[in-house]
């Protein structure tokens, strides 16, 4: 049976731009998410999960958003050719973004199909302000197995994302580079990086990336991926409205 194509769509829900730390609920949520990121980075490595056949997607600028993404990619011949599709769900709050997702990859070789699923977290260090550079740390883990064989592998990937967010009116462009380490339990650690761009025009966005890993023998494998976004934003309530309700 062939692999279903998931049309790249990403829906985003924007929460208020800043958390109110006078609100105990905001403090508790932020503390919980920061603790979760610290624990995750401690368990899986000092540095988002790379799903099989996919680039390591990143958004260093981050933001207080809920995102559902659809992705499509084409690995190169050294990777195994074929195509992959997948979906991700991300929840951002303050400086932290947590992601869950899956992918399915069908290589060029007949009779082979793979799937992977996992999750990760990103901690934004800078960005979302007047600074011209956004930086984040990612940590994640994914497990991949086969529809057709008993082979499986677990992947831990870590990355430092650096971008230069640009915006003019309703248009925002975020080119980025994401160097990092990819560890697989079947063949150890590799060095890799992704170069990509996130683009949004009003409610519609696109993401594109090329990811490459260096093999032990000196050769490299590469993956090219694309996706599209649909963004929903919730307007922040004005202080006057909140004050009148308290009165």
The pLDDT, as a whole number, for residue 202 is: 77
Which of 120, 125, 114, 109 minimizes the C-alpha distance to 62? Answer: 125
Residue 135: how many other CB atoms lie within 10 Å = 18
What is the structure's pLDDT at 5? Answer: 35
For residues 1-30, average pLDDT? 44
**Which of these ranges, 19-28, 48-57, 79-88, has the smallest mean pLDDT?**
19-28
Task: Please tell me which residue, 185 or 55, carries the higher pLDDT value.
Answer: 55
Adjacent-strand bridge partners of 102 = 87, 117
CA 191 – CA 180 distance, rounded (Å): 6
**124 or 146: which leads in pLDDT:** 124
Cα separation, 6 vs 103, in Å, equals: 10
- Residue 131 burial (C-beta neighbours within 10 Å; 0-12, 13-18, 19+): exposed
Say what the alpha-carbon torsion angle 66, 120, 101, 90 is, to the nearest 10 degrees: 0
In 3D, which of 217, 207, 245 has the Cα closest to residue 8? Answer: 207
Range among 34-38, 165-169, 186-190, 201-205 with highest mean pLDDT value: 165-169
- Quick count: other Cβ atoms within 10 Å of Cβ 154? 16
Number of H helices, E strands in the chain: 2, 12
The Cα 100–Cα 123 span in angstroms is 15
> Which of 199-203, 212-216, 229-233 comes out lowest in average pLDDT?
229-233
Rounded to two decimals, the pTM is 0.75
Q: 192 or 153: which carries more pLDDT confidence? A: 192
Is residue 206 within 8 Å of 224, Cβ to Cβ? Answer: no
Query: Between 28 and 157, whose confidence is greater?
Result: 157
Least confident of 3-17, 196-210, 211-225: 3-17
End-to-end CA distance of the chain: 62
Q: How confident is the model at residue 210 (pLDDT cuts 50, 70, 90)?
A: very high
Q: Highest-confidence range of 21-30, 41-50, 61-70, 218-227, by mean pLDDT?
A: 218-227
- What's 49's DSSP letter? P
Q: Report the candidate in 60, 41, 232 with the shortest Cα–Cα distance to residue 163.
A: 60
Q: Which two tokens stand for residue 190?
A: 């590799």
How do residues 59-69 score in pLDDT, each as one tens digit? 888 877 787 88
């Amino acid at each position: 049976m062939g692999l279903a194509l998931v049309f790249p769509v990403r829906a985003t829900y924007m929460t208020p731009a800043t958390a109110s730390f006078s609100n105990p609920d905001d403090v508790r949520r932020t503390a919980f998410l920061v603790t979760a990121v610290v624990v995750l980075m401690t368990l899986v490595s000092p540095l988002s999960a790379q799903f099989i056949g996919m680039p390591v997607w990143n958004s260093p600028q981050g933001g207080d958003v809920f995102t559902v993404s659809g992705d499509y990619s084409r690995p190169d011949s050294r990777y195994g050719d074929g195509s992959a599709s997948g979906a991700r769900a991300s929840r951002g709050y303050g400086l932290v973004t947590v992601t869950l997702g899956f992918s399915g990859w069908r290589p060029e070789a007949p009779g082979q199909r793979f799937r992977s699923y996992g999750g990760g977290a990103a901690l934004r260090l800078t960005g979302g302000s007047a600074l011209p550079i956004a930086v984040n740390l990612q940590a994640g883990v994914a497990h991949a197995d086969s529809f057709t064989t008993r082979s499986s592998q677990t992947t831990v990937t870590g990355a430092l994302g650096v971008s230069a967010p640009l915006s003019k009116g309703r248009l925002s462009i975020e080119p980025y580079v994401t160097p990092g380490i990819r560890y697989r339990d079947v063949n150890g650690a590799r060095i890799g990086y992704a170069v990509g761009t996130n683009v949004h025009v009003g409610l519609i966005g696109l993401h594109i990336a090329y990811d490459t890993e260096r093999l032990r023998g000196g050769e490299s494998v590469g993956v090219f991926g694309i996706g599209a976004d649909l963004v929903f934003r919730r307007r922040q309530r004005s202080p006057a409205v909140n004050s009148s309700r308290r009165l």
